[in-house]
């Protein structure tokens, strides 16, 4: 019994020593691994690319706001007065050239057409009779049966009948034209942007019933500060930025209105776009007009790190320590972005491997 107790005590002691040895081995391995992943007490960062910043020369742009405007905009109104009997479109609907949009009451105009048609028939019969009478009297006159005065009267009747026939035909044409104006059709294909008419309204000449915008092509209207008047010219290439679509479109200035707005101290320019098929009317855009060359710092757009409302880059000092530095951005240039403040020539930033970066770490 005593021997059993001694053996059990020795067994527990041996097990304790064995567990202690295993723990020491594990701690030794962790310490080695920690030393490998830390340099001077800072986490080591691998797999990043560092770029030294230098001054670059690039175009200088003047930025202003603009609005997309259809090149063709048609305001449609009635040419005659009448009650609207039908409206065959909705606002925002695409319509085709020649499509019937509005019809007016045409009873009065239809009666005028029918009355004019009767007048033409009567004038035609009078013309036929006058011409036949003239031929008979012409033969009698040549035979010296009637006097010259009688012949003059017959000739005058013939001429008057012919003139009345022409006038009757002209009145019929006018009546048909006015009758046709009671049907209002689309002059161009496009989107109905405004609708100012309903069934039962009284259409008045000159009062716009609707507006159609041809959406196949657009231009940009923009206002430029007065100090640039005379410094930009027709034919100057520009580019347009659409914030909502993250796209840039090339264009050219086609018109400059050299009249200064006394309130805004700006003047109007019009820009033709190279490709505008996917635009919409009334979009807000940014217009960039080249005004010369300037020097500054450009960095890859992929190097910019946004943290909520903060914009910055990961900078690396001479000791290789990584810090997050706030910057202010300018214009973009084909994958590069201008730095307005926050960086200087000679600074080093991380341009690749951003996901591997640890704030306060050190580049290995």
* Beta carbons of 199 and 105 less than 8 angstroms apart: no
| Low-confidence winner among 130-134, 153-157, 178-182, 282-286 (lowest mean pLDDT) | 282-286
Task: State mean pLDDT over 31-47.
Answer: 64
- Single out the residue in 267, 292, 317 at which a domain terminates: 292
**Domain assignment of residue 247, yes or no:** yes
**Domain assignment of residue 133, yes or no:** yes
- Single out the residue in 271, 292, 313 at which a domain terminates: 292
What digits encode the pLDDT tens for the residues 299-318? 999 999 999 999 999 999 98
Q: Look up the CATH number of the domain holding residue 349.
A: 2.40.420.20
pLDDT of residue 71: 87
**Domain assignment of residue 353, yes or no:** yes
Parallel, antiparallel, or unpaired for β 328-333 and 284-300? Answer: unpaired
What digits encode the pLDDT tens for the residues 163-218? 999 999 999 999 999 999 999 999 999 999 999 999 999 999 989 999 999 888 88
* Beta carbons of 307 and 298 less than 8 angstroms apart: no
Residue 36 has pLDDT above 50, yes or no: no
**Domain assignment of residue 39, yes or no:** no
**Domain assignment of residue 308, yes or no:** yes
Distance CA 29, CA 41 (A): 18
**Domain assignment of residue 189, yes or no:** no
- Report angle CA 173, 176, 181 to the nearest 5 degrees: 130
Residue 73 has pLDDT above 50, yes or no: yes
How many domains are there within the chain?
Answer: 4
Residue 112 has pLDDT above 70, yes or no: yes
- Residue 277 domain boundaries: 63-71+214-292
């Amino acid at each position: 019994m005593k021997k059993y107790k001694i053996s059990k005590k020795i067994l527990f002691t041996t097990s304790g020593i064995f567990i202690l040895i295993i723990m020491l081995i594990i701690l030794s391995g962790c310490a080695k691994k920690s030393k490998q992943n830390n340099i001077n007490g800072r986490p080591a960062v691998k797999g990043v690319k560092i770029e030294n910043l230098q001054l670059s020369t690039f175009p200088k742009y003047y930025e202003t706001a603009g609005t997309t405007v259809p090149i063709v905009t048609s305001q449609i109104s009635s040419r005659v007065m009448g009650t609207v009997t039908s409206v065959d479109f909705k606002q925002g609907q695409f319509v085709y050239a020649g499509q019937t949009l509005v019809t007016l009451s045409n009873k009065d105009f239809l009666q005028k057409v029918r009355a004019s048609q009767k007048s033409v028939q009567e004038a035609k019969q009078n013309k036929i009779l006058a011409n036949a009478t003239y031929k008979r009297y012409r033969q009698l006159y040549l035979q010296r049966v009637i006097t010259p005065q009688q012949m003059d009267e017959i000739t005058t009747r013939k001429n008057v009948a012919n003139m009345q026939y022409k006038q009757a035909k002209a009145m019929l044409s006018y009546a048909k034209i006015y009758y046709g104006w009671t049907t209002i059709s689309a002059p161009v294909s496009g989107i109905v942007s405004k609708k100012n008419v309903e069934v039962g309204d009284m259409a008045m000449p000159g009062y716009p019933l609707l507006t159609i915008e041809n959406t196949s092509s657009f231009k940009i209207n923009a206002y430029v500060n007065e100090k640039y008047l005379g410094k930009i010219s027709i034919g100057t290439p520009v580019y347009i930025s659409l914030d909502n679509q993250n796209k840039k479109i090339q264009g050219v200035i086609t018109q400059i209105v050299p009249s200064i707005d006394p309130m805004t101290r700006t003047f109007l320019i019009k820009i033709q776009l190279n490709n505008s098929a996917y635009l919409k009317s009334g979009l807000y855009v940014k217009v960039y007009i080249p005004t010369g060359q300037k020097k500054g710092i450009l960095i890859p757009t992929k190097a910019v790190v946004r943290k909520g409302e903060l914009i910055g880059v990961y900078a690396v000092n001479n000791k290789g320590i990584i810090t997050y530095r706030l910057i202010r951005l300018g214009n973009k240039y084909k994958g590069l972005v201008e730095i307005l403040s926050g960086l200087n020539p000679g600074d080093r930033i991380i341009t690749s491997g951003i996901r591997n970066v640890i704030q306060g770490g050190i580049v290995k």
